[in-house]
Structure 1
């Protein structure tokens, strides 16, 4: 008997274009994406996928990520550190995935998620 297929429910998009403020040659989003992807457990990978994106339009707050899932609010989060906030990003993705509608109560958000909210967008009519 084969294992039931699991479907990724949450996608974490990481901007890989933003440049470090102090060194324009460094792209911290790429480092964050690689560290985040490496930190996901097999259980996490069943529900969370990491995807690079070329720009999230929040260049003043690198590293920037977006969390999205069908039928859920989408969060755009900025100011992630590619070293110090990897665990917060993993935990944020877990809590977002576990939420019914994508809204994670502020008191339940990891610190980097609590401080980094740039915006949240309701699910579009096509996703309901």
Structure 2
């Protein structure tokens, strides 16, 4: 009888801060790392730190977030997540553009207990590029809800 070993999935990203911003760093359609994703991740880390939010936000790269348009070749996909909060996914984010709106969204997201914002609350560029707003997962067992 063989023992099965559990491997950490390639898309698994440990979270060490209360909030996490995930940046797609793998161009699955190109079969290579995503240079624009890596550049955006570095730029966003610096901006979050400069805004005084480094303790509240971790900026991490992750495997393909499946929200890009393969033929575009540059724009990135980003996600915001936190325990007991809605998860947000934005696409077509150009790493060459100013990232003030990404930092502003981070402030808004952190300030909401449940992470739920309406489209009109988002910075305009993100409102136009929203791919998904996913409610926080609520797991219910016989003993009651588990978050």
- Give the TM interval when normalised to the shorter protein: 0.7 to 0.9
1:66 and 2:75 are equivalent in the alignment: no
> What is the aligned counterpart of 2:130 among 113, 117, 120?
117
Whole-angstrom CA distance in 2 between matches of 1:33 and 1:25: 13
Q: Would the aligned equivalents of 2:26 and 2:33 in 1 still touch at CA under 8 Å?
A: no
Shift of the 18–94 alpha-carbon distance from structure 1 to 2, 3 Å rule, reads farther
Alpha-carbon offset, residue 43 of structure 1 = 2.3
Whole-angstrom CA distance in 2 between matches of 1:68 and 1:118: 14
Higher relative contact order (CA 8 A, sep 6+): 1
Whole-angstrom CA distance in 2 between matches of 1:25 and 1:70: 28
Shift of the 124–27 alpha-carbon distance from structure 1 to 2, 3 Å rule, reads same
TM-score (norm 1): 0.80
List structure 1 segments (4+ residues) > 3 angstroms apart after TM superposition. none
More strand by share: 2
Whole-angstrom CA distance in 2 between matches of 1:39 and 1:25: 22
Can you give the 5+ residue segments of structure 1 that lack an aligned partner in the other structure? 1-6
Alpha-carbon offset, residue 108 of structure 1 = 2.0
Whole-angstrom CA distance in 1 between matches of 2:113 and 2:61: 25
TM-score (norm 2): 0.71
Shift of the 106–27 alpha-carbon distance from structure 1 to 2, 3 Å rule, reads same
Whole-angstrom CA distance in 1 between matches of 2:42 and 2:122: 22
1:18 and 2:31 are equivalent in the alignment: no
RMSD between superposed Cα atoms in Å: 2.3
